[in-house]
Chain A
Amino acid sequence: MAAIFVYITHKNGTADDSAFELAAAAKALDAAAAPCAIVLGGTADVGQVAGQVAPYFSEVITIANDALQYPNAEVYRKALATILPAKSLLLLTHNSFSMDLAPGLSVKLDAAFASDVVGFEGIEGDTLKLVRQEHGGAVSSRSACGLANGAIISVRAGAFKPAEAGSQGAVVDKSTEVSDFSSKRSFVEVIAAEVGDIDITKSEILVAVGRGIEEEDNLAMVHELAAAMGADVACSRPVVDAKWLEKSRQVGTSGQTVSPKVYLALGISGSFQHMGGIKGSPFIVAVNKNKTAPIFQSADIGVVADILDFIPVLTEKINAGK
């Protein structure tokens, strides 16, 4: 069995929660594995991040250089290609950076590549059986991934429960092994998403509305319900795409990450991109007319109803109870 490496996503000196999920994913791949974390970044951050992840891995390789301050996939790819031994298995989190980095890295390492994996079903010989979701989550697929030349696997955030801390792994600095920081792509800036009048990341109660609202005019009833509950209004991507609500109210991987106490999802199917934006295990209530909507899998309470009919009834009941 080849060595398992885990690429650590971090920001502002803090490792992303997904780092601990990947530690668990590595164990799911091979219970006997001694996974090794890799932390790349600027000199100010790397040591700190390595310290945070060390209890979850048997070893942490660090590469610190201020040329790595902002993650540039081309530069990082060269660094990883330099330090990864042949036939390694590299796990990373499926996100916007992995999409930049991983496919090209797999070509450079001549390794297999599987993206957005949600489960592992064991290794037989040189073949790993893995599970992915396709067609927007409508169906799952089981694939055989050849490991003979190593593999790069990006794992969906949230697919594995974070690992428990174990014994402290050793931190090994390999900064000196990397010297080529050239790139044909240069970072200019990050334009932050517009901040709206309400910061939903701070809200305790959220009423989130999705495609099921059908038309812009129907949003009025959502605002009324939110007012009755003392909640803020959030939404899923289709509502923002239709320009019915501002981008700053969007929950999901391409929107805001929220951690309310109560999350009322109205007419939201519950794609993983949306659910990826909900953290801190709130009490989730889902109202959807489609009883097979995936959101009912993640919710605590489910209501099968047409939200256009149900919302006014609920608002009335809440107001009556006051």
Chain B
Amino acid sequence: MDIVGPAQFVVLGVKTQIFSILIPVVAIALFAYIISKRMVPLRKAAKDERWDRFGERAAKVWSLWLLQIKQPRYMLAGVLHMAIFFGFLVLLLRSLGLVFIGFQENFHWPFLVGPLETWYNIAKDYAATIVLIACVIAGIRRGIVKPPRYAVPSQYGKDHTGEAVFVLAIISVLMISESLFEASAFAAGAGNGHFAAPLTLVAIFTAMLQGSSAGTLQAIHILSYYVHDLVFFFFLCFLPFGKHFHVLTSLFNVLFMRLEKGNIKPVRYGLAGEDLDQLDSFGIKKVEDFTWKHMLDFYSCADCGRCSDQCPANAVKRPLSPRFISIKARDLLFKSYPVWGAPQEASALIGGIYSEDEIWSCTTCGACEEECPLAIEYIDKIVDLRRGLVDEGMVPQSLQKPLSALEKRGNPYGKTAKQRGKWIEDEAFAQAVPVKLLKQGDTVASLFFVDSVGSYDDRIIEINRKAAHLMHHLGKDFGILGEQEKDAGNEIRRFGEEMLFQEIKEHNTEAILEADPQEVITTDPHAFNALKHDYTGLPPVKHISQLLVEGLDQGKFSLRPLEESGKVYTYHDPCYLGRHNLLYDEPRRILDAIPGMKRVEMEKHKDRSFCCSGGGLALFYEPEEETRMGVVRVNMARAAGADVLVTACPFCLINMEDAVKIAGLENELKIVDLTELFAGQVELVQDGDRV
């Protein structure tokens, strides 16, 4: 039998070739127009600096985009996505080739010849089959099983299932039509030496079509071609209207992703210091205030809900769901900058798509960003939105007091600066550990930056005394700034009060540099993070856990076994130690060094650690929530079978000691600090008995 391809076929006296040309030309023109419209807000957007470090960026594209390394974190959905994604990559060549076949019979990619062509054809046959199977499973999952992660709470709009299932259907039609196009040719014996790979769609369709009449096969051949052609170009033009925009934008979104951890974007790229005073407005107030990359984030959101699934604020029913931070902004961009019609006037985001409480509910724990397969950013956006709120004076009363105390006294508690260094004066402690209280002009080898909570909170002071004892044991020559120290400002910055942060940063930087230390040591991960990422020009900043690991490596500790055997320990990763600074293993090594340590991991650990509800100013904020994050977390510790929860952050300790009381777990779960626990097992050198 002979079969005529779309390039030669004539129907009612018209060569179908004309459609083969018209469809792509019209569709590509339309697509270009749509994309140009989608680019409009990006051109109006704020500046962003992403044109650097292309080596690292290429590596991110390789791992995140091409290898999809974040996908298997959700196994079923991830594997399905990878199947469809890799299938698409393989089929891209075939789909483009098909476009050319429409007007050039026997089109061949010039680089696909000989065995390469054969291998490719086998690969694409399997790809189409696997994609179809993945689409069917995904469709059943989205349409029938409906995992709760995809639900849209009423305050965030209508259900998104329709869109998801529709796109799966489109993809399925593409797979089926492509296979039918080929199968009809094979069945007609017009394989051109090609064959259907066994157990593929093409093979099945070929078998089914064996024995069909020449007319039927011809009709299927032409029809399936144009169904594929039309649906292919429809899909292309449909992508920029919904969550499948990510098919087009994800490559760029990953290419331009943030490369730093723990830092916060500047108020305006390229402006610093005095120049900031010249700005008319601070932060983000309307959608155009976002940077172009942040808008690209909105376009790229695939609505997969992983961010919100990991978000602790969302888990305790605070009015925040990161997924909808993106989706609401994307919908607003679509509405304000429509493909057809004139752009609409910008309106305020707060009171519009976002509420004040929504923006204050974030603890900046970073779980959402860690999870996003497309590297969408949230913390910088939340901080920028908070900067806008602060600029408008829209700050909850519960945060105003600590902020004004920070401004006037350098700590959120309103305590006097004089009291800041008082904790070293305790008689027994002072005898055991000589801590230098640095006066102006004094220098020291290691500067212990204590920060506010460690200077004023009795419970945390105890821990810092232990930390100081360990530093002394390690032979450090160290001192504290006392009155000269102000709050490190990690949360001042992350709660949007940028200029107060800048003032405090300048003050602290000057005070630290004046002491001319070779290193700055912290026990509080929040201070650690701020000094490391938000400050510039400081000597290396270290967390106590790094110091202790060094000490272990050098064999400087002789450790007693745990007194109470049989207790099970678990370690809670503080957000600002773990996710923001990648210190996952050091604390675990310290724990495991203690003889008799029995340690289990909670289900959510390391980069999936569950925030205890935040530090610094977050302790003052009174959110609407159903339960406390700390309570959720201590229950997780119990579920893991732990009797003791160890953490390495003063705020985690405070939050979870509270949580244990609220949850009524005082007798079941003990919260301890890593430093304190470790110090208790070390034969510590006392002052004077050093050899």
Contacts and interface: CB of A to CB of B under 8 A. Distances in A.
Nearest to B619: A215
A220 B662 CA distance: 8
Contact of A312 (B622, B628, B658, B661): B661
Question: What is the interface residue range for chain B against chain A?
Answer: under 10
Contacts, number: 11
Contacts of B662: 217-218, 220
Nearest to A309: B661
Contacts of B628: 217
A242 B622 CA distance: 9
Chain A residues touching B, majority SS: helix
Contacts of A308: 661
A308 B661 CA distance: 9
A216 interface: yes
Interface string B639-667: 00000000000000000001001100010
A220 B628 CA distance: 14
A13 to B, nearest CB: 42
A216 B622 CA distance: 9
A105 to B, nearest CB: 36
Contacts of A217: 628, 662
A272 B658 CA distance: 31
Contacts of A216: 622
Interface in A168-227: 215-218, 220
A218 B662 CA distance: 7
Nearest to B627: A217
Nearest to A244: B622
Interface in A229-276: 242
B618 to A, nearest CB: 13
Interface string B116-130: 000000000000000
B622 to A, nearest CB: 7
Interface string B377-410: 0000000000000000000000000000000000
Interface in B597-640: 622, 628
A220 B663 CA distance: 11
A265 B126 CA distance: 76
Interface in B649-691: 658, 661-662, 666
Nearest to B661: A308
B361 to A, nearest CB: 16
Nearest to A308: B661
Nearest to A218: B662
Residue among A216, A217, A220, A242 with max Cβ neighbours from chain B (10 Å): A217
Nearest to A216: B622
A18 B622 CA distance: 40
Contacts of B622: 215-216, 242
A298 B661 CA distance: 31
Nearest to B664: A312
Contacts of A312: 661, 666
A27 to B, nearest CB: 43
Interface string A11-39: 00000000000000000000000000000
A218 B666 CA distance: 15
A205 B658 CA distance: 28
B663 to A, nearest CB: 10
Interface in A298-322: 308, 312
11 contacts: A215-B622, A215-B658, A216-B622, A217-B628, A217-B662, A218-B662, A220-B662, A242-B622, A308-B661, A312-B661, A312-B666
Given A215-B658, A218-B662, A242-B622, 4 more contacts: A215-B622, A216-B622, A217-B662, A312-B661
Interface of B: 622, 628, 658, 661-662, 666
Interface of A: 215-218, 220, 242, 308, 312
Interface pairs A-B: 7 shortest CB-CB: A217-B662, A217-B628, A308-B661, A216-B622, A242-B622, A220-B662, A218-B662
